[in-house]
Structure formats: structure tokens, C-alpha cells
Amino acid sequence: MITSYMKDIIDSDIHKVWETILAVDKYSAWRSDVSKTEIIDDHKFIEYNNEGYATTFTTTFIEPYKRWEFDMENSNIKGHWTGIFTCVDKKTQIDFTEDVICKKWFMKLFVKSYLKKQQTQFVLDLKRILK
């Protein structure tokens, strides 16, 4: 299993950060790496990158304004994501952990750097939309 972490401070109220992140139907409006999302039901959605590659996400735990967890899967990886949200001086501390298993052996060579790149881009896009 490969694990990637991202911890940062977002200069925005925790409620606004939470509402933005959980509004997955609006991802294509602010995320630079997402072309569209498809809501399957209250717990499942599919995210499509700019090349049309799909990843399915299934919520496994949610505690409003504190914690969101989901399983994710596509043809290359299978894993689990945990997001912890903490209010710090009217700002929001985010702490994201991604645990991934590669389905193809050669993916192990670069998946950690790919995950870090994805997490970094997510946070940059989030900070930009919340300005």
C-alpha cells in the first residue's frame, strides 16, 4: 500500500471549505483536473479527469465539518481517502490521507508522486476558489 499525506491551512471558514469540498457536482467549475462529475446516489459519485478517465468514489464515513472518508477505484488503483477538517483561528486546517493499492505492478513506480501532485493541485484549486 502506498500512502500520501497533505496538510495545509485554508484561509476560509470551515463551513465554506466543507460545503465547497462536498459539493462534488460543482467540481468541474473550480477543479482544474476535473471535466465533470456524475452523482450516482447519496454515497457514490464518478469523477472524470480532463481526458475522460473515470474514478468512482463511495463515501464510507461522514461527520459534518470534521471528517469525510471514501473509497475510490478506477482501472489502475483502489484505495481509501480520509479528510480531517479543523477550525484554527477562523481558518480551516485540512489533513488529507490517501492509501492506495496499485492494480498494475508498474504503477508502483510513480503512483506516490502522482498522488502528491493530485493533492497539491486540489489544494491550490480550493484556495483559488475560496479567495
Domain ranges, ordered by start, for the chain: 2-129
CATH class of 2-129: alpha beta
Q: Span 82-90, mean pLDDT?
A: 97
Q: Span 92-98, mean pLDDT?
A: 97
User: pLDDT at position 109, please?
Assistant: 83
pLDDT band at 108 (very low <50, low <70, confident <90, very high): confident
CA triple 98-116-73, angle to 5 deg = 45
pLDDT per position as a tens digit, 19-73: 999 999 999 999 999 999 999 999 999 999 999 999 999 999 999 999 999 999 9
Q: List helix spans (H) across the chain.
A: 14-22, 27-30, 111-129
Whole-number Å distance between alpha carbons of 120 and 79? 18
Q: Output b/e per residue, 73-100; b: 16+ Cβ within 10 A.
A: bbeebbbbbbbebeeeeeebbbebbbeb
Share above pLDDT 70 across residues of the chain, in percent, rounded to a whole number: 100
pLDDT band at 83 (very low <50, low <70, confident <90, very high): very high
User: pLDDT at position 105, please?
Assistant: 85
User: pLDDT at position 39, please?
Assistant: 97
- Residue 107's φ and ψ, nearest 5 degrees, are -65, -25
Mean pLDDT, the chain, rounded, equals 96
- Tell me the three cell numbers of residue 72: 475510490
